[in-house]
Amino acid sequence: MTSPRNAALEYALENQEKFLNSLKDLVRIPSVSTAPEHKADMLIASHWLMERLESLGFATRLIETEGHPLVFAERTIDPAFQTVLIYGHYDVQPAEPLDLWLSPPFDPEVRDDCLFGRGASDMKGQVIACMSAVESILKTTGLNVNLKWLIEGEEEIGSPSLTPVLEEYKELLESDIVLNTDSGMIARNTPTITYGLRGLAYFELRVFGPQSDLHSGIFGGVVHNPAQALCELIAGMHDEKGRVTLPGYYDPVIPVSEKEHKQLAESPLDEDFYLKQMGVNELWGEEGYIPAERIGARPTLEINGLYSGFTGQGSKTVIPSWAMAKISMRLVPNQDPAEVQQQLVKYLQTHAPNTIHWELTPMAGAPASLLNTSLPASEALADALEKAWGKKTVYKREGGSIPIVYHMQTILGSDSILSGFGLPDDSVHAPNEKLDLPTWYTGIEALIHFLFNMQDLEK
């Protein structure tokens, strides 16, 4: 007789094409959370998800916010069972620059065992993997685990409307563990659990010079060019050792312990790993730290965008009247985005010359999080990954951010366990994002094992 696990695994195998079609349908909806012109698509995507979850027997509701809505769903069978809250986000990053895509970002296409499209990996693929695993179990044998879903539409913009929702729906969102598949794998065939995420503090800095653009010959030499002033300010934000110069920036940062240094030194995330992926001659970063530390355990400051003056074809001799930079810091545990904002303001007050004036607008902000890997549910996940891949699970501290993980910890008191089936070369947030399908199918198997493992856990 086939065991319930095997029945579900078999169902998953037989329905791979159906699962893939479902993912393609979701990728076709251009749910770009940052773009006002996609507001209607956000609603379409959330309703699409509700319909899918209803068809699997979940009671669903749309939770409205000031921004994009969240999808909640529930199937509670017995309070004595474990309750798993499955987290996801249905929003994606903008697809631009469009001309670099080999197939249109919202017209998913399979090439070489990969599905190409915006959100295929981050994280519509992961959401559909969770739904496919749940479907495989519920359509075959059933499961003695209470399941809840929370799928948000603002993750990629820092979840600005989230905290009031978590406060208001605290009871509804209660669970024993949150399964979050918004992270990825260290490499193909290397099952990975993420136990740390960095936070983020994101700003737009505008520098204003003359009241209008000027002829650069008539005025060049008597006025401070705002593009130059902005570049000077930005250049001063790092010292020659690659350290961030904002006053007090490193004060709260917890030093990397000897033990963690040793662990990270053995991680496959070494110089070579990064060199191979990026097509640069040499790495760059904070002196005295290895790459795995610089990504996982040290904070950074990045310029995400720069704009000023004439950038069209040809030439134009002009002194621009203003310049703008998008600047963000990746934060580590103990750093507070609001304090970092104060530090940036202080830096600008100290260093901005009298020749210009500036304006700083805060955008996304979220603290970092560190997770407990010895929770029973974390071990259940590690075991599930090992069953699916036949290899030991690797633990990683991630450089990216998922704001809700911190907020769920502090507001709901809920711990998250993080994994996911994206690969380092998936080009997330970049042109030609893809999802490796063989890895994805194995991921669905792993999630089936995980849910059965949770059923076996004593409450």
- Under 8 Å between Cβ of 153 and 68: yes
Identify the residue whose tokens are 């993750």: 155
Query: What mask of x and - would describe binding to ligand BES in positions 198 to 237, judged by CB under 6 A?
Result: --x-------------------------------------
**Considering only residues 363-402, where is the footprint of ligand BES by CB under 6 A?**
364, 366, 398, 400-402
Interface residue with Mn ion among 122, 154, 293, 433 (CB under 5 A) is 122
d(CA 265, CA 270): 8
Spatial CB neighbours of 231, under 8 Å, sequence gap ≥ 6: none
Residue 167 vs residues 365, 369, 430: alpha-carbon distances, Å:
18, 19, 34
CB of 404 to Mn ion, least distance (A): 12
Helix runs in 139-283, H state only: 162-168, 226-235, 258-265, 271-278
Q: Shortest Cβ distance from residue 310 to ligand BES (Å)?
A: 30
Position 433 contacts Mn ion (CB under 5 A):
no
Least distance to ligand BES from the beta carbon of 235, Å? 24
Name beta bridge partners: 149. Answer: 73, 86
- Could you tell me where the beta strands, DSSP code E, fall in 309-437? 318-319, 322-331, 357-366, 369-370, 394-397, 416-418, 434-436
Token pair listed for 226: 């705002």
Burial of residue 28, with CB atoms counted within 10 A of its CB: 0-12 exposed, 13-18 middle, 19 or more buried = middle
| Side chain identity, residue 437 | L
Rule CB under 6 A: say whether 182 interacts with ligand BES.
yes
Binding-residue pattern over the window 72 to 111 for Mn ion, x denoting contact by CB under 5 A: ----------------------------------------
In the complex with ligand BES, the residue whose CB is nearer, 83 or 328, is 328
Contact region for Mn ion (CB under 5 A) — 114-122, 269-277, 333-341, 384-392?
114-122
- Taking each helix axis as running N to C, give the angle between helix 39-55 and helix 124-138, from 0 to 180 degrees, rounded to the nearest 10: 20
Cβ distance to ligand BES smaller for residue 90 or 358: 90
Q: Which residue from 154, 155, 415, 436 is in contact with ligand BES, where contact means CB under 6 A?
A: 155
Residue 401's binding partner, choosing from Mn ion, ligand BES, none, with beta-carbon cut-off 5 to 8 A by kind? ligand BES
Contact in structure between 193 and 373 (CB atoms under 8 Å): yes
Task: Answer yes or no whether residue 426 interacts with Mn ion by CB under 5 A.
Answer: no
333 binds ligand BES (CB under 6 A): no
Does position 123 bind ligand BES by CB under 6 A?
Answer: yes
Q: Which entry of ligand BES, Mn ion, none binds 444, CB below 5 to 8 A by partner kind?
A: none
Region of 26 on the Ramachandran plot (φ > 0 left; ψ -120 to 50 alpha; else beta):
alpha
**CB nearer to ligand BES: pick between 135 and 182:** 182
156 binds ligand BES (CB under 6 A): yes
**Residue nearer to ligand BES on the CB measure, 202 or 249:** 202
Interface residues with ligand BES (CB under 6 A) are 122-123, 155-156, 158, 182-184, 200, 364, 366, 398, 400-403
Interface residues with Mn ion (CB under 5 A) are 122
